[in-house]
Structure 1
Amino acid sequence: MTSTLSRAIAHYPNRFDPGVLGELPEHLRETIQRRNKVLGPGYTLIYKEPVEFVSGHGAHLIDRDGNDYLDAYNNVPCVGHAHPHVAEAVARQMAMVNTNTRYVQEALVDYAERLLSTFPEELSKLSIACSGSEANDLAVRVARFHTGGEGIIVTRWAYHGITREVASFSPHLGAGSPLGPNVRLIDPPDPRLAVPGTTLAEHMRQQVRGAIADLERHGYRLAALITDCAYTSDGIFTDPVDYMQGVVEEVHAAGGVYIADEVQSGFARLGESMWGFSRHGVLPDIVTMGKPMGNGMPISGVVFRPEVCEEFGRNVRYFNTFGGSSIPVAAGAAVLDVLEKENVQQRVLESGNALRAGLREITKDSPYVAEVRGAGLYVGVEIVKDRETLEPDRLLTEDVINDMRDRRILINGTGKSANTLKIRPPLAFDSADVTRFLETFAEVAKNRL
């Protein structure tokens, strides 16, 4: 049991080593010691020297001593830390009333109409929950009810949440969290994994076809394929985008549905569109949303084609005490306000293009950087021991992450071997932030890459 847990925790990228606790500043050390006494199992801190923040604004976090850190990692504060418009909307609603979906709320209806207007018209029903895990749990539950199947297909190192159900198809959680017998894994859309002589589209289609056949062989009818539209836990694979139509065709031919997990890629994160699936030119049957929806308030959503959720709605009562309650809805509406008024999507597109171009220029001659990839403000830098063999270098990756943290810029790692730098800032990240990031990264690269 202990060795299994150790392997699972070790899989978590860039975690703090408690063995060096005594080397930390006194206040930080004492707080962590108090934390360890009262918090339950499974929690981890990140960075060799953890950091405590007391305030934030935009893409910046401020520590106890007043130091300004550039946040290039946290996507929960979608439109920026402590955004005044969101904070004011939440405080105003908190001072009025907080009711749930058992009562008529015009503000809830207004919000649902506004949010659904950002989707294709075929996706026209919204259910609201509190977390991305809950959203994916509900999505799969409805998919099973609609299809009569149990089989789930996900990518090989995907992460979709932490409920018992969703953890069963989240291989990224590691050895301590077993997959369900009804779950099959396929490659992420990494062109380098395609069989020589085939296209990525052919490879992905064959992967799905094989997974469906194996499920059926073991007595499982397909319920759903669920993918994170940026494949973030697989290592961040946003391009190319010409393979998804064939994948969805295979899923539909087997009687399953396609669930687009937009927890990471939605709300203009990828710059070119509001939703990641739009870049692929496909229409999902179900779409899930989470973290960025309320800029830190606990709200998530599931959007359905009506025909997929109608029978479930007729036969199963769904109620979530806080899902759809007044305060999180106020936060969600305020996020939509900011996305519109600040033209966030255009800023993401411009900042993201500049960031990736700068990273490619800095690393173009490095023997340790295999690739810079991504879209919008979701960027991955793959660190390897050798560009030819592509052998992952997790230790070097963590050195870069911690060197950046020491220079007060926050990033982390992702991917099968945690050797891809994950750069995923709040969408308030602007041109000045890009400049600061690239200047600092160039310093680190000079020493490390």
Structure 2
Amino acid sequence: MANDALIARRERLLGPNVPTFYARPVHITRGRGASLWDADGTRYLDAYNNVAHCGHGHPRIVAAICEQAARLNTHTRYLHEGILDYAEALLARIGWPGQLLMTCTGSEANDVALRMAQAVTGKRGFIATDNTYHGNTTAVAHLSTRRPPIGGWPEHIRRVPAPDSLTPLGGSRAVQPEAFAANIARAIDELERSGHGFAGFMLCPIFANEGMPGVAPGFLDPSVEVIRRAGGLILCDEVQPGFGRVGAHFWGHEWLGFQPDVITMGKPMGNGHPVAGLVAKPEVMAAFREAFGYFNTFGGNPVSVAAAMEVLRVIEEEGLQANAAEVGAYLLGALRQIDHPLIVETRGLGLFLGIELAREGEPAGEEAGRIVEAMRERHVLMGRVGRAQHILKIRPPMVFSRADADELVGKLAECFAEIAP
């Protein structure tokens, strides 16, 4: 079926405004590793998807899902060793005492994290940055700024200015950590005076949706001090940076250098199988279990756990964290060789990289969009991010190779050559 017919059928059956990537959406029919193929058999290099964390169609993970599905799949009110084995394996990767709660999506995990902070503090107020995204439930959607909720933004949420590369908070990158913390302190004061109180601060530790704006380890230290002094919890969304993507560390918060109270995880956890979860300090988990009668029918079911366990094994046994560090460094060096007046900064952490574009000091979102579309026409899939959608976003599966990096860089250089200075 032609793409135009598929798009019309999609709108008729699914409704209007269902998002797709690219001006000419891609009809993907199969994938393996860092490659995808469309209905015509054309191969695309996937430089975007963190869902297939260990690579599309990884045979070991597929086999683990199939074998467990053929044996047993049921809800979690029966005893099952799988979730306990997985909890032991995952918690060994955390570095501090924690307990596991499993869900089906990262949105659910973030929703539960908010309730955990409420249970511990007895307060309702939350803080996030003003250019973030943490999911689709009503509670976490209130943290995001993509579209205002019906009736306006709720009074118990405060959004503080996100760290920025083009226009750093406080006027320079050197003072940005203190300026960020000062804004959090003001938001805490507002929440306390409003009567809602301050329950917690939710962040992605590499500020991925903010455009990964060049923060360094220690950036959050002043903010951590402010939050701890106010009695709030730090809720760390590891959906994008977790499971070795940043290369140097297994988790983004390890790289940034702080210890959260709760870490949430999602898409990469099951290599595309719908499994997610969170790890909380024992006292936080105890407060939550006392305050809320929480149960998730499919969270931690045997098939999801089998997928998640095999992901951990593949990351370890196939050296994917080391690959993220090695190939990520190689790719970053090659990207920095692309010379164009629009490029303000090229930065990266493992296999998460960004190229920030600006024209005369103003974000160049239109040009970034043109490059993403031009790369799609060259059969390379990538995206963009940032407040003005002016930062090229490269976040491939963890099996991305040097040859894949060379292909990406060569085609990206061609695209920049077509953009007027």
Q: Distance in 2 between matches of 1:55 and 1:188?
A: 38
The corresponding residue for 2:180 is 204
Tell me, what secondary structure is at the counterpart of 1:80?
Answer: coil
Mapping for residues 174-213 of structure 1, pairs under 5 Å:
174-175=147-148, 178-190=152-164, 192-196=167-171, 199-213=175-189
Unpaired segments ≥5 residues, structure 1: 1-25
| 2:268 aligned residue (287, 292, 301) | 292
Give 1:312 shift: 2.1
Q: Distance in 2 between matches of 1:186 and 1:311?
A: 28
The corresponding residue for 2:236 is 260
Offset from partner CA, 1:234-290 (integer Å, 9 cap, x none): 112353122212211111111100011001110111111110000122110000000
Q: Distance in 1 between matches of 2:37 and 2:374?
A: 18
The corresponding residue for 1:415 is 386
Mapping for residues 32-431 of structure 1, pairs under 5 Å:
32-122=7-97, 124-171=98-145, 173-175=146-148, 178-190=152-164, 192-196=167-171, 199-237=175-213, 239-363=215-339, 366-386=340-360, 389=361, 391-431=362-402
Residues 209-218 or 158-167, more deviating: 209-218
Opposite residue 441 of structure 1, the aligned amino acid is: L
Give 1:100 shift: 2.4
Displacement over 6 Å in runs of 4+: none
Q: Distance in 1 between matches of 2:87 and 2:377?
A: 43
Offset from partner CA, 1:15-53 (integer Å, 9 cap, x none): xxxxxxxxxxx7111111111100034411121111111
Q: Distance in 2 between matches of 1:118 and 1:271?
A: 14
User: CA separation of 1:181/1:42 partners in 2, compared to 1, >3 Å: closer, same or farther?
Assistant: farther
Opposite residue 188 of structure 1, the aligned amino acid is: A
Q: Distance in 2 between matches of 1:415 and 1:180?
A: 24
Give 1:196 shift: 3.8
Q: Distance in 2 between matches of 1:294 and 1:283?
A: 24
- What's the TM-score once normalised by structure 2's chain length? 0.96
Give 1:176 shift: 5.6
Report if the CA contact (8 A) 2:142-2:149 is conserved: no
Give 1:315 shift: 3.9
Tell me, what secondary structure is at the counterpart of 2:331?
Answer: helix
Q: Distance in 2 between matches of 1:148 and 1:224?
A: 11
Q: Distance in 2 between matches of 1:370 and 1:170?
A: 26
Q: Distance in 1 between matches of 2:414 and 2:157?
A: 44
User: CA separation of 1:41/1:164 partners in 2, compared to 1, >3 Å: closer, same or farther?
Assistant: farther
Report if the CA contact (8 A) 2:206-2:256 is conserved: no
Q: Distance in 1 between matches of 2:187 and 2:292?
A: 30
The corresponding residue for 1:447 is 418
- What's the TM-score once normalised by structure 1's chain length? 0.90
Q: Distance in 2 between matches of 1:176 and 1:52?
A: 32
User: CA separation of 1:254/1:41 partners in 2, compared to 1, >3 Å: closer, same or farther?
Assistant: farther
Percentage of matched positions with identical amino acids: 38
Report if the CA contact (8 A) 2:248-2:325 is conserved: yes
Tell me, what secondary structure is at the counterpart of 2:51?
Answer: coil
Tell me, what secondary structure is at the counterpart of 2:305?
Answer: helix
Report if the CA contact (8 A) 1:231-1:238 is conserved: no
Instruction: Say what the alpha-carbon RMSD is for the aligned residues.
Output: 1.5
Report if the CA contact (8 A) 1:294-1:335 is conserved: yes
